[in-house]
A and B are shown apart, each in its own frame.
Chain A
Amino acid sequence: MSDILFNVGYGHFLVLAAVLFLIGTAGVMIRRNALIILMSVELMLNAANMTLLTFARMWGDLSGHTFALIVIAVAAAEAAVGLAIVVAVFRGRRNVDVDRLTTLRH
């Protein structure tokens, strides 16, 4: 028991990343506020980053580290554009609940 708890290895990081990814996925699917959805997506990306870094260390390969840095940068750009869109939507209708985005027909 204590071995699993205290002897932290690659497996722990991978499992943590998987849990984060699932939490992120669930957040996107369950939450209705656009900002929270955006945050959940960031969680998913960070889970992917953590997995990348873990594997990079496992393989002793630098490209995983590079990849993670690139992902962080791109995620920032994506978040900037996303927030701008959320703000634009909020200006128009004073809320950002995705269930109430029903102007376009289904």
Chain B
Amino acid sequence: MQPGAFVLPLLIALPLLGAILVMCTPKTESSLHRGVGMTFTVITFIVSLLVFRYFNAKAEGFQLVFDVEWIPGLGARFKTGIDGISIFLVILTTFLMPITLLGTSKSIEKHTREFMAAMLVLEAGMLGAFVSLDIFLFYTFWEVMLIPMYLLIGIWGGQRRLYASIKFVIYTMLGSLLMLVAIFYVYIQHANVTGVYTTDLEQLLTVALPHNAQFWCFGAFALAFSIKIPLFPLHTWLPDAHVEAPTAGSVILAGVMLKFGIFGFLRFAMPLFPNGAAVWAPVIAILAVIGIIYGALVAFAQDDVKKIVAYSSVSHMGFCALGLFALTPYGISGSIFAMLSHGLTTGGLFLGIGVLYERRHTRRLAEYGGVWKVMPVFSALYLIIVMGSAGLPALSGFIGEFLTIFGTFNAGDTFPASHPNYLPSPRLLGALAATGVIFGAVYLLYMFQKVFFGKLDKARNGGLKDLSGRELATFLPLVALIFALGLFPRPVLQVMEPSVQKFIKDYHRRVAEPDGPSHVYGTLPQADKTADAMQNKLDAAAKGAQAVQNTLGTPPAGGAQ
């Protein structure tokens, strides 16, 4: 066990413990429920800061690794660990949770106990998925996240919550189940090659699969993760889910859960199937650019504030996907940075909508106008969040978007046209994405102007109260962090760098592996093409013979003594 290994399991256990505790409290004590929820999320946040104490920012690879046997028969392990990529996502999660609970504590009136339990289980699931180093453990946490979110939308949601919740689950489920088939395939192939059944990610990574299989497996993983991101044609669940979800659900959904798409690619899909990634990368990059522009344009046409922010997520997450598949150090760092920024700004945007909705019970743009006059503090803070989201320099959004676009422009240098991962004209993609930034500024400012500026002509807006102390306490940390990330991005980028470099180095090493039947990396003889092909055939024949031998030679269970 490495020093500090206890931190990550503790991070998963704390919210679960809180969920159990809160379920043990009496049903009607809603302030007690809120108290327990707040306490446990705050403790989790403080414990998560311990990670920095043990984390060595200069080292590459996984740290704080905790590893015990979980299901021996299957070779599944309870293995957790973090690297420079996941560390900030973990902190983002633990940070957003108490903020969300604080910001929405008044808006949930019925079933507060179950609400708190759902949120805490959700947090445990998300943290677990971020730190899992066992693909099976990851899948389990991935599914565990789904149920509380489904309940959050379904129980505490709006008018069309039934439809939205079912749609959310079915979309996610369909994707993740195909991923499960691919996990199966990798798992069995690894066992065939090494003779060891294991779902330990680092073990699975030692085996190279045939390129054809990588294509399909990456496709299956990509479906699951693209739905989560969400990538352009698979995004239709997102606006429904966001509009119907309660504010807390929207914040967590946009702030953290969407990140699992990108994170899944980074942690699992691309390392496991590098050649599959190489083939799919252009497709996904193009879809990401379409998503950036499409999301921005559709957001512009919405009347519902929540829908605007939901479509802005489609657009912003497109940047993350684009940066990732540019496969340059800048692109990937930018992608991760953009995720952090998006988590903060979109979380803030949804919380702000929650503030307005609690006061006016409508989300229609046309119902607002001139709010600045009655809520100056809120308006000023919201303006900073909106600017952060739109990518104004000195705020967090700018760094991420700039780096992803810069990384995409540079993709042409690192990936010449002869490379299997040749992106379709990186400069064109970068330029199109840059127009997305402009569109983003347009619709966000349009929304801000419609709500906060103009005449205070709606009578019911006249009596709006400005932020209470509690609400101020939710927005100030967010705004402070948006500033901090925008002004001082270097510390964050430096912590990421070793992991990002290692990711790219490993990717290039793996993608250069010649095609062949499943084998351990580097064991295939590097002979000329024909000899290689010959060897492949021989291997395949030997394997077939082995299979026949297995079927014929092994007596099935039975045989009395």
| A contacts B: CB pair < 8 Å | no
* Residues of B bordering A, CB below 8 Å: none
* Residues of A bordering B, CB below 8 Å: none
